[in-house]
Amino acid sequence: MYILKIQGTEKIPDYVQIRDENFSLIAYFKITNPKTALSRCNLLYKMEEILQIANCLEYGKIRKLDL
């Protein structure tokens, strides 16, 4: 899986995308509200780790996510 952070604007918040090996979108959520999206894709148990990586990640950079 891969993680990508997208910078928002004044009106649009920052978002995080989680994608699979084929780069298909698995989860798309605001950094401030990840619970619903992560529970839908069964990654809620890794929420703290995902948020820690997302907060350190630069905007527009893709990082491999080893969960």
Residue 53's pLDDT band, with cuts at 50, 70 and 90, is: very high
Q: How many domains does the chain have?
A: 1
pLDDT attached to residue 32 = 86
Return d(Cα 22, Cα 31) in angstroms, integer.
Answer: 23
3-state secondary structure of 9: coil
Note if the pTM is more than 0.95.
no
Return d(Cα 19, Cα 24) in angstroms, integer.
Answer: 5
Dump the DSSP string for 15-48.
EEEEE-TT--EEEEEETTB-HHHHHHTT-GGGHH
pLDDT attached to residue 31 = 86
Q: Which domain holds residue 53?
A: 2-64
User: Per residue in 16-49, pLDDT tens?
Assistant: 999 999 999 999 999 888 999 999 999 999 999 9
For residues 43 and 66, is the Cβ–Cβ distance under 8 A?
A: no
